[in-house]
Chains A and B, each alone.
Chain A
């Protein structure tokens, strides 16, 4: 039940007083899946998920973290890509986390917990130019982190964060638009906010440096 312990720490620590978090509990091996969305480049999704994997790796001594590249490689090598896709499809169509498919993926990856981040909401504001004003487009994305236990196979819970960015100005066209870069920036800001929402997992862990807000801004929205 090591994964249960880890995920319980992830989820419940904000609700507990300092010192009550079970940081001395042996924790297991965690797989962090790449972030996939049709509006952000695949490589960017891997890099952003690696940021999460690195965070968990750095902050939690003794936890083996399988990052997004390793997850992809192992899924393909074990022929489990279809099983994972079926699992996510079923969950997002029905709300039912299929324990059989989840267990297959867990076994194939040889982990006891999964962390999956999904871009859940995408709210885009259009540009507008009028007499005496110009509104640049803006993008607000909601990021959902799912935490899965492998033993027993189940959805342990979720966390939410939000990120924002503004679009680029195209002087030639006289228009502004949300580019792939600004989309990636918004998702990146949401990832940073998600990191900030995760509690320390070990007594000697250090807080993550706050993301520097430039054109983006991250906001945590923790569900209770």
Chain B
């Protein structure tokens, strides 16, 4: 379990956070949606006066603002390690009405089918959750967790189960957001 936080990040000052939709080839749409809902649920238990923009609403707002393709380019460029346009983060923050964006990524997946001779089948995942500051366009906090799971001799287990466990570990480490005082 690894976490990195921007020293300037002040979780108490966050008023609204948007949980963004996400996609991974190894997961069905429902599985990805369910993971995003886990983030929403974790945030709902965070503090009382924190407004949460759900993934579906965020998706609609980003599409309506014509920012979906630019957001895709931002995620692609960042994955490739090339220069990114951080103003996209700020513009999406404006579009969804949030000062923090939560993004899930399945950074790495490996599945190995086994046999008696080759050994046990296993699935490895590395899950990352990032909180992007929409006021500055910078990364405020990131947490990642990896799990190797083997429970079958021949067939690599589905990605969804270790992904859930790894995600839950990240969410437990995520800073509590929003003001300490009641609304």
Chain A residues in contact with chain B, CB under 8 A?
A: 86, 89-101, 120-121, 123, 125-126, 128, 130, 133, 135, 138, 140, 144, 155, 157-158, 160, 223-224
Nearest opposing residue in chain B for A86, CB measure? B69
Structural contact, A91 and B118, CB atoms closer than 8 A: no
- Report B12-24 CB contacts with A as 1/0, cut-off 8 Å: 0000000011110
Nearest opposing residue in chain B for A129, CB measure? B117
CA distance A91 to B32 in the complex (A): 13
CA distance A155 to B29 in the complex (A): 10
Structural contact, B23 and A95, CB atoms closer than 8 A: yes
B118: which A residues are within 8 A, CB to CB?
125-126, 128, 135
Known: A125-B115, A135-B118. A95 touches B21 (CB 8 A): yes
> Number of A-B pairs whose CB atoms are under 8 Å?
86
Structural contact, B26 and A96, CB atoms closer than 8 A: no
Nearest opposing residue in chain B for A120, CB measure? B25
Structural contact, A94 and B26, CB atoms closer than 8 A: no
* Chain B, 1-42, CB within 8 A of any chain A CB: 20-23, 25-26, 28-32
Question: Which one, A92, A94, A130, A133, contacts B20 given CB within 8 A?
Answer: A94
Please name 29 pairs of A and B residues whose Cβ atoms are closer than 8 Å in the assembled complex, sorted by A.
A89-B72, A89-B76, A90-B72, A93-B23, A93-B73, A93-B75, A94-B21, A94-B23, A95-B22, A95-B29, A95-B59, A96-B21, A96-B59, A96-B62, A96-B71, A96-B72, A98-B68, A99-B63, A100-B66, A123-B112, A123-B156, A125-B114, A125-B115, A125-B118, A126-B118, A130-B117, A135-B117, A140-B113, A155-B29
A91: which B residues are within 8 A, CB to CB?
23
Chain B residues in contact with chain A, CB under 8 A?
A: 20-23, 25-26, 28-32, 55, 59, 62-63, 66, 68-69, 71-73, 75-76, 111-115, 117-118, 155-156
B32: which A residues are within 8 A, CB to CB?
95
A101: which B residues are within 8 A, CB to CB?
69
A89: which B residues are within 8 A, CB to CB?
69, 72, 76
Nearest opposing residue in chain A for B29, CB measure? A158
CA distance A144 to B75 in the complex (A): 22
* Minimal beta-carbon separation of A208 from chain B (angstroms): 23
Structural contact, A100 and B156, CB atoms closer than 8 A: no
Known: A128-B117, A138-B113. A121 touches B72 (CB 8 A): no
Question: Which one, A86, A94, A126, A138, contacts B71 given CB within 8 A?
Answer: A94
Structural contact, A224 and B117, CB atoms closer than 8 A: no
Known: A94-B68, A95-B32, A98-B68. A133 touches B117 (CB 8 A): yes
Known: A123-B113, A128-B117. A160 touches B28 (CB 8 A): yes
* Minimal beta-carbon separation of B72 from chain A (angstroms): 4
Q: Which of A96, A123, A133, A138 is most buried by chain B, counting CB atoms within 10 A of its CB? A: A96
Known: A99-B63, A125-B113. A94 touches B29 (CB 8 A): no
Nearest opposing residue in chain B for A164, CB measure? B113
Structural contact, B30 and A224, CB atoms closer than 8 A: yes
Structural contact, B72 and A93, CB atoms closer than 8 A: yes
B113: which A residues are within 8 A, CB to CB?
123, 125, 138, 140
B76: which A residues are within 8 A, CB to CB?
89, 93
CA distance A113 to B72 in the complex (A): 24
CA distance A33 to B115 in the complex (A): 36
Structural contact, B30 and A98, CB atoms closer than 8 A: no
B115: which A residues are within 8 A, CB to CB?
125, 135
Structural contact, A223 and B28, CB atoms closer than 8 A: yes
CA distance A89 to B72 in the complex (A): 7
CA distance A125 to B59 in the complex (A): 37
B31: which A residues are within 8 A, CB to CB?
223
B72: which A residues are within 8 A, CB to CB?
89-90, 93-94, 96
